[in-house]
Amino acid sequence: MSDFIGSIYEWFSKNKRELPWRKTKDPYKIWLSEIILQQTRINQGTKYYSSFIEEFPTVKDLAAASEDKILKLWQGLGYYSRARNLHFTAKHISNKLDGKFPEDYESIIKLKGIGAYTAAAIASIAFDLPYPTVDGNIYRVLSRYFGISTPIDTTLGKKKFYEVAKEIIEQCADPGFHNQSLMEFGALQCTPKSPDCINCPIAVSCFARKNDQINELPVKSKKQKQIKRYFNYYYIDNGEFTYLQKRTGNDIWKNLFQFPLAESEKLLTDDEVLNYNVPFLNGVKINIKNILKIQKHILSHQIIYARVIQVETSGLNNFPENFIQVNKKDISKFAVSRLMEQFITELNIG
């Protein structure tokens, strides 16, 4: 065990990436980096982290901001519930805890939007507490090295890997350094595909390497099913104005803005689009100017087939309360999804 850990520590000291959140023990900054990096590549996440720290240097600054401002700054990262939870928790820490971040694992994990992995990262890096961060990278390293074939997406598997990781970290003097070493090793060295086993410092004692099971470990038991949805957006061209709709309800892109939407049960042909019943256009004289090419947008659990129908009109008579009329030149001020941003760019608005 000591050879395994010692070799990874040595590797990390030589090969680690210089990242801004590795230069601090401020729990706010560590928390922010961990939330941003969920489902986000390091290169992309680093830019967002820097923007957030510049705009909101403390948790109280983040708490005082409007949700619209936070969502706009988050635009392009996806999984917008992360940003909403980030804001909620910042307000809780600022208002209920006098701006002081909790210093024990049990209190950290109770915060909204913080799960076991993020709580362990904050507790170990900021407060030197021996809680293991078990993410995809660490699942892969432990599974391959120790030959653990229990599926990582099962309750039994998660328990098994956590027990192994917990046993290892309790032997370490610096939990934060330990967790970052293992995560970085999985990210750069023990990669999902074509890992560099020839230059791996632990290859000689690695189960998967010795038994030719690199591509078989770790094991997953099930595949996530994706549903298909069909979005018909209406870009309503009213001279210098257009209309936006704020998404509400418990759905994707909550509280982001979009062109008014009519969702259909199937992919419509151009002829079907021309005759489709759109409630917010009922009784309004329109001229369909253009129908953009269908875009396929893949999310973790959904596949969106979306198109924009550009219509000209002198204005809507009565529109829903979640619609707003905006000047076209101001459209860039609103937080939108990446898909909507692509359509706005294609239409050359703003």
Residues annotated as part of the active site: 34
Tell me the C-alpha distance between 16 and 184, whole Å. 7
Q: Which amino acid is at 98?
A: D
CB within 8 Å of 10: residues ≥ 6 apart: 201
DSSP states of 105-136 as a string? HHHHTTSTT--HHHHHHHHHHHH--------H
Best CA proximity match to 339, nearest among 229, 200, 197, 193: 229
Tokens 């020839």, located at residue = 198
What is the separation of C-alpha 276 from the centre of its chain, rounded to a whole number of angstroms? 34
Tell me the C-alpha distance between 112 and 278, whole Å. 38
In three-state secondary structure terms, 296 is: strand
Q: What are 254's two structure tokens?
A: 């909550």
DSSP-assigned letter for residue 78: -
Q: What are 6's two structure tokens?
A: 């010692």
β-sheet bridge partners, residue 261 = 233
CB within 8 Å of 125: residues ≥ 6 apart: 25, 30, 175, 176, 179, 180
- According to DSSP, the β-strands at 302-312 and 227-237 are parallel
Tell me the C-alpha distance between 249 and 226, whole Å. 20
